[in-house]
Amino acid sequence: MSLRFALLTSLVATSVAHAGEINGTVQGVKDLENVVVYVEHADGAFKPPAAGAIMDQKNIQFVPHVLPVLTGTDVKFPNSDTVRHNVFSPSKAKKFNLGIYPPGTTKDVPMDIPGAQIVSLLCAIHAQLAAFVVVLQNPYFATADAGGRFTIKGVPPGNYTLIAWHEKQPENELPKQKVTVAPSGAAKVSLAFSKDYGRTGEKFGQ
Ligand SMILES: [Cu+2]
């Protein structure tokens, strides 16, 4: 076997031997696929993915609607649409304005702010474009699926606080849950929002 393959195999074996998993469900809002579940704090220094993360613009929408990233991640904003867009963020956490740019071009913004902070995204041309970058302290996060299920893999053993975030929920009402991750196997967690405050699109009558 090649050296590269041997190295890869040993890396995979190492990470599997020393990492657990957190999985479970979240409930209480209609758009569960827009809920981000994340570990509040984990010790260590984490390297953002070299490839960055993508917040696309397609059919006059941001895709995805919610993008969780590790602090320091370079977020790319390709215009994959047939019209021009002007992405900007009014958020205090990371104000920026990419200006108007045409289909087929891209711009990027490094999310060089500490987690956990929310960077909201809008388009100066189209009111219906709205999305969120959730900047997080550690890479242990997941977006729930439409049924509210989530899985966070590769979590080092330890005690953590898990938080569920949704764009319309007040910060002091976000559900939190203590969780203990064992060296292997899965810790099961269920989280629930106490009230549904609706979603972004609803304020535009969608
Ligand atoms: Cu636009």
Q: Supply the pLDDT for residue 3.
A: 52
Alpha carbon of 203 to ligand 1 centroid (Å):
17
Dihedral over Cα of 161, 162, 166, 167: its sign: positive
Asked if omega into 116 is within 30° of 0 (cis), the reply is yes
Alpha carbon of 84 to ligand 1 centroid (Å):
6
Alpha carbon of 62 to ligand 1 centroid (Å):
9
Local confidence band at 151 (pLDDT 50, 70, 90 cut-offs)? very high
Which residues on neighbouring strands pair with residue 59, listed in sequence order? none
Q: Please state, in angstroms and as integers, the Cα–Cα distance from residue 139 to each residue in 61, 101, 116, 173, following that order.
A: 26, 31, 12, 23
pLDDT digits (tens, 9 = 90+) for 17-67: 578 999 999 999 999 999 999 999 999 999 999 999 999 999 999 999 999
Q: Supply the pLDDT for residue 6.
A: 52
Q: Note whether 113 and 133 are within 8 A (CB).
A: no
Alpha carbon of 58 to ligand 1 centroid (Å):
10
Alpha carbon of 133 to ligand 1 centroid (Å):
17
Structure tokens at 47: 């390297």
pLDDT (mean) for 67-90: 98
Q: Would the pLDDT of 14 be above 60? A: no
Alpha carbon of 100 to ligand 1 centroid (Å):
8
Alpha carbon of 154 to ligand 1 centroid (Å):
37
pLDDT digits (tens, 9 = 90+) for 92-111: 999 999 999 999 999 999 99
Number of C-beta neighbours around residue 50 at 10 A: 7
Tell me the C-alpha distance between 64 and 53, whole Å: 11
Largest CA distance in the chain: 59
DSSP notation for 137-191: SSS-EEE--TTSEEEEEEEPSEEEEEEEE-TTS-GGG--EEEEEE-SSSEEEEEE
Alpha helix ranges (H) inside 45-109: none
Alpha carbon of 11 to ligand 1 centroid (Å):
43
Q: Please state, in angstroms and as integers, the Cα–Cα distance from residue 56 to each residue in 27, 118, 136, 171, 177, following that order.
A: 27, 18, 20, 27, 32
Alpha carbon of 124 to ligand 1 centroid (Å):
6
Asked if omega into 68 is within 30° of 0 (cis), the reply is no
Element (H, E) at 57: strand 56-58
Alpha carbon of 130 to ligand 1 centroid (Å):
10
Alpha carbon of 125 to ligand 1 centroid (Å):
5
